Amino acid sequence: MRRVLDNYKWYILILFVLTSTFIISFLLITFSKELKSVYTFSIANLESSFNANKDKYELFLRSEVRTILSDPEFIDAIKNINMNKSVTEYRRLLFKKLYKSYKLYKEKGIVVFNICDTNTVFLNFNQPELSGSVLYSRSLAYQSMVKKEVVSGYEFYNDRLVFTYNFPIVVDGITYGVIVYGFSLSAIQEDLNQVKDVYHLILVAGNETNNDKFLVKLSDNIDCFYEHDLLLRANGDALEFAKKIISGYPDKKELTTKLGSGKDFFLYYKSYYDYYLMLFKQILPNDSNYIYLVSISRAPFIGTMIRRYITQGVLGIFFNIIIFTGLFLSLKFYEKMAKTEKLTREITDSLKDFLIVLDEKGKVIYYNPSVIKFFKDIDNFTEKLEYIISSSDQQISIEVDGDSKTFYLHKNDVIISGKKEATVILLLDITEKITLSEKFKLAYDIIRHNLSGIVVTDLNGIILDVNDAFTKITGYERNEVIGKKTSILKSGVHDDKFYTNIWENVSNRGIWEGEIWNKRKNNEIYPEYLSIFTIKDENGKPKYFVGNFIEISEIKKYEEKLELLAYYNEVTKLPNKKFFIEKLRNFINDNKGKDIAVCYLDLDGFKKFLDKYGLEVSNKIINQISNRIMPILKKSDILGHFDEDIFVIATIVDDTKELEGYLEKIQFAIFRPITVDGVVWKFTCSIGVTIYPEDNDNPDELVRHAQQAVFQAKNRGKNRIVFFDTIMSKQLAIKREKLAMIERGLKNKEFILYLQPKFNVEKKEVVGAEVLVRWVHPTHGLIPPSEFIPYISNSDIEVEFDKYIVSRAFECIDYLYSKGLKVKLSINVSPNALLNEELIEFIRGTLLTELKEKSSMIEIEIIESTSITDLNKASEILGEFNKIGFGISVDDFGTGYASLDYIKALPIDTVKIDRTFVVDMLSDPTNLNVTEVVILLAKAFNKEIVAEGVENIETASALYKLGCNIFQGYLIAKPLPIEDFVDMYHKLNNMSISQVIDDYFKNKEVIEIYSAVNAFSRIINLLHYYGTHDFDQNSFDRLYFNLMSWLRNKGVSYYKKKEMYEQIIEEMLNTKDHIEKVLKNDYPKDMLYDFMQELSKLEEKLKRSYEKIC
């Protein structure tokens, strides 16, 4: 029904529009016809009046011509003139004779009166000076003589448009000339204007051009004006009247367009209270100019016609509206009734809630579809109905076939005339609301207790809510900040532009994240990592802003520490090896032509001292030694601190003896007794020296040669100065011999490649392998890399060796590809080789011809132990390789030159933690800290992390906990020939190491709890390490926080049902205060030993408990 009504509504509207359009169209057509009949009649009258005026002139002139031609004297004169007899005499005679007639003609508006012979204008009364001019062959006068009849029409005389009558002079059949009369159009205009209430004018319309003969005078006082690029001309008062007409007409463009058309037309318009009718009769056509006779008269009948037709139209539309409104309202009423009925049905049927209607006797007379949808069939419904009807509770639960819902019950009796007619039962489904309420409460609790600070604001930055972490980090209580602006947290570190950029990002992208400095309640400034995002309403418009932040003070400290480690020794704050080499290179460049000594200082026996007395005492001694050396240095000298007991000095040398005295002075300063913690120590120092330019100018080589010299000094008994000399040259000769052997080995292809797998414990698969070289010598057998790689480094054959390795590695890639293994192979490339154009071109050429589709199987490993002299060029080359699919990694990260410089400047994908940090990280806190910092740094730069030297499951567990999940080492597999590698690949992926790791790491939670227990062991190790020495509160707090955070959060969720776990938590919490007392030296001496024994027992107990609950 609704559909039908909708269609009728449109039909009524269309029919109304059509009938209204018909009425208006009919009246417009009738009006146009009536107006056209008026125009036809009026234009005919105008044309008749115009022609009648012309005929009047013609009758008058015919009479005058007959009079002139009846004069014998005139005839005789005209004949003699044609025979050229006494021309001047006859011109005077005729002028005198006809002058009176000329005066009469002029009064009547005749502006042209000429007597012409057969060739010339013999006598021109209007312009006598032109008498005798040649008669134009195409003029109407000439045509009249040829035709021997009267010829009339428009002509130009002296730039004036006139209407001429040309009467031929014919005597006895012979034409002797012609008499020409011409009157101006102005004369006709004046005659027509004698009619009352009608004004006539002659109007010329056309385009102005220099050669256009229509630039004529209608009379002596002609003028013109422009309208819409059309030139309009009229004379005298007519011009002013024409201007008035044009300016008064509403649509000037329409008027000028019609004027330019050259056709007859009419227009009417209203001026003030009068209507005017304008008739335009075209009387002389031309290509671009038209002469119109214009008749303008008041036309009150037009206003009467318009009012009559408007009245008829309004009445017609009015009655049409009444008719169709009645029809529409009738249909609207029926439509509303149908709509109400349908809407009621749709509402009840679409209700997800249950609607049940009972009659006065309690019998069901209606229930909506949701009832049966839930109860499945009528039997279930009937069974539960009695419970529903009898229930007095507002909240009830109903279960059908295991599906349970909670409802809000509402019953209402329908009373009509005091009598109960029906009962309506409404069951509102509140199951989801209850669930959502619980979820909301859970979400709120999660947010409230989230370790990240959370703040919610309105669009003006007014704080609406914060969580517990916010109050903990900022120091503000919740009630202190709600209703305040977030600007209370501003630190003053950032300018307005910084905050403008933040809110521009939030407005445009809906989110901003980055580092920011804020201020606590106590005015302490701290760094945080902040994310701001927008919460939108249901219309997609911003409603709230949410800020989520974590304090990153510790991370900042790590970054600063790592930055310091990158360039300076952590203990003495002197330049480290990398920075010293860089400074030495500049020192050599700045002192060209001077001798420079590189002096390598190595404390004798210090390694054993370090092992025996520990790092703390050793660092204090090293600091005292560096403080003794620095005052002795010359102003231009460079001092570096490489390792624990290695110092290197670069100094300008004027005299070798002077240099020896200088170094002896340093030796003596070092030898003086050193007191640390009340104990006195003495140390000697061996010094190796090499001098530039006697030695080469490579800073690495100079340091290496000085180091070789110090080895000689130690071999000769220590505590002495040794210069790099011939003995070392012999060693160099040995090096040259080795290099020659290596070169032969390259030619004979004695070097073979082994592959050591990299295993991802998360994915449980081999994700790559490192290419390792082995030398199979024909007489010496298998030679390990440690016996030939040092000779190759920085040698002339280094690039050739790398080229050989790369070539063989590419062969391995082909072999693996043929076996269906798309494993990424890591190829070690030295910095020197990386910048060598020959090697780079070789790699490019091989890729284009052979390995185009296998570039993703290649990873370039940059060896960090030697510095890259041109980081920009290296970045460009590695960037090129990276784009075609190569992986880029830095090997031995943290041991030499790379660290921040490499990771920032080069397109590195992967960072490899050097095995020297990994192997003993569980027993050496320094190595553990360095490993942790490297992992943190790699993650901060979004780099993949690989750990080398993973040899046991405990180390793997600790690395995994720190965030590294790719391992390389003997725990996974030793380096293997390529054929054995293929077998190992399948074993690792299928069972072997995957199974071992699977058994050990049953799930992530096992790793977590193992690391938690291990963390406790580290705390106990700290106790043994510090003993009664200074206590590092930050280290302890970080370890204990990480452990207890896991125990109270993830640990509880995983093992809360196990009694053993409850005991672990209780025992750890009980020991916390005791541990802090021991560390701070506040624990009673007589109880310390017993407590340490108890801790050791607790450690063993925790490990056993861990094994049981896992």
Q: Given pLDDT bands bounded at 50, 70 and 90, which one contains residue 509? A: confident
On the question of pLDDT at 277 being above 70, the answer is: yes
Q: How many CB atoms lie within 10 A of CB 633?
A: 14
Residue extents of the structural domains in the chain: 71-184, 193-298, 353-433, 449-551, 566-724, 749-912+930-947+966-984, 1009-1109
Helices (H), 568-641: 577-590, 606-629
Specify the pairing of strand 542-551 against strand 198-206. Answer: unpaired
pLDDT at res. 178: 93
Least confidently predicted of 446-455, 593-602, 821-830? 446-455
Query: 749-912+930-947+966-984: what CATH class?
Result: alpha beta
Residue linked to tokens 């938690």: 1012
Query: Please, what is the Cα angle at 405 between 404 and 408, to 5 degrees?
Result: 150
Mean pLDDT of the chain: 78
On the question of pLDDT at 970 being above 80, the answer is: yes
pLDDT at res. 1095: 60
Specify the pairing of strand 364-367 against strand 354-359. Answer: antiparallel
On the question of pLDDT at 1013 being above 60, the answer is: no
On the question of pLDDT at 773 being above 90, the answer is: yes
Q: Are 400 and 373 in contact (CB under 8 A)?
A: no
Residues near 855 by beta carbon (within 8 Å), at least 6 away in sequence:
847, 884, 885, 886
Q: Given pLDDT bands bounded at 50, 70 and 90, which one contains residue 219? A: very low
pLDDT at res. 211: 37
Overall average pLDDT of the 881-898 stretch: 74
- CATH fold, domain 71-184, is Beta-Lactamase (3.30.450)
pLDDT at res. 334: 76
DSSP per residue, 834-879: HT-HHHHHHHHHHHHHT-GGGGGGEEEEEETTS--S-HHHHHHHHH
Q: Which CATH architecture has domain 566-724?
A: 2-Layer Sandwich (3.30)
Assigned CATH for 353-433: 3.30.450.20
Q: How far apart are CA 960 and CA 947, in angstroms?
A: 10
Q: Are 574 and 582 in contact (CB under 8 A)?
A: no
On the question of pLDDT at 1026 being above 60, the answer is: no
Q: Which is more confidently placed, 543 or 197?
A: 543
Least confidently predicted of 374-383, 465-474, 575-584? 374-383
pLDDT at res. 1022: 47
Identity at 331, one-letter amino acid code: L
pLDDT at res. 842: 80
Overall average pLDDT of the 135-143 stretch: 77
Nearest to 185 by CA among 205, 201, 165, 206: 201
On the question of pLDDT at 1010 being above 60, the answer is: no
Tell me, yes or no, if the two domains 566-724 and 749-912+930-947+966-984 fold the same way. Answer: no
Share of the chain above pLDDT 70, in %: 76
Q: Which is more confidently placed, 330 or 766?
A: 766
On the question of pLDDT at 675 being above 80, the answer is: yes
pLDDT at res. 1006: 44
Overall average pLDDT of the 122-147 stretch: 81
On the question of pLDDT at 1084 being above 70, the answer is: no
SS3 state of residue 200: strand
Given the residues 948, 951, 1100, 1107, the one annotated as active site: 948
Share of the chain above pLDDT 90, in %: 16
Q: Given pLDDT bands bounded at 50, 70 and 90, which one contains residue 445? A: low
Assigned CATH for 449-551: 3.30.450.20
Hey, what are 554's tokens? 């510790």
On the question of pLDDT at 919 being above 70, the answer is: yes
On the question of pLDDT at 243 being above 60, the answer is: yes
Overall average pLDDT of the 1056-1061 stretch: 54
Q: Are 606 and 645 in contact (CB under 8 A)?
A: yes
Overall average pLDDT of the 103-114 stretch: 86
Overall average pLDDT of the 201-230 stretch: 51
Q: Which is more confidently placed, 208 or 583?
A: 583
Q: Which is more confidently placed, 753 or 955?
A: 753
Q: How far apart are CA 1048 and CA 291, in angstroms?
A: 109
pLDDT at res. 249: 67
Q: Given pLDDT bands bounded at 50, 70 and 90, which one contains residue 508? A: confident
Q: Are 682 and 648 in contact (CB under 8 A)?
A: no
Overall average pLDDT of the 980-1004 stretch: 65
Q: What is the DSSP letter of 1047?
A: I
CA distances from 1022 to 204, 372, 608, 900, 1088 (A): 117, 70, 22, 30, 15
pLDDT at res. 598: 96
On the question of pLDDT at 992 being above 50, the answer is: no
Q: Given pLDDT bands bounded at 50, 70 and 90, which one contains residue 998? A: low
pLDDT at res. 1052: 57
Hey, what are 620's tokens? 């204090």
pLDDT at res. 1008: 47
Q: How far apart are the first and last CA of the chain?
A: 72
Q: Given pLDDT bands bounded at 50, 70 and 90, which one contains residue 729? A: low
Residue 473: exposure state from Cβ atoms within 10 A (0-12, 13-18, ≥19): buried
Examine the residue annotation and report whether 948 is marked as an active-site residue of this protein: yes
Q: Given pLDDT bands bounded at 50, 70 and 90, which one contains residue 209? A: very low
pLDDT at res. 235: 54
Q: Mean pLDDT highest for which of 82-86, 311-315, 745-749, 922-926? A: 745-749
Q: Mean pLDDT highest for which of 423-432, 556-565, 776-785? A: 776-785
Q: How many CB atoms lie within 10 A of CB 530?
A: 20
Q: Which helix (H) or strand (E) holds 910?
A: strand 910-913
Q: Which is more confidently placed, 343 or 220?
A: 343
CA distances from 906 to 53, 177, 873, 889 (A): 106, 113, 10, 10
Q: Given pLDDT bands bounded at 50, 70 and 90, which one contains residue 948? A: very high
Residues near 399 by beta carbon (within 8 Å), at least 6 away in sequence:
405
On the question of pLDDT at 1017 being above 70, the answer is: no
On the question of pLDDT at 1016 being above 70, the answer is: no
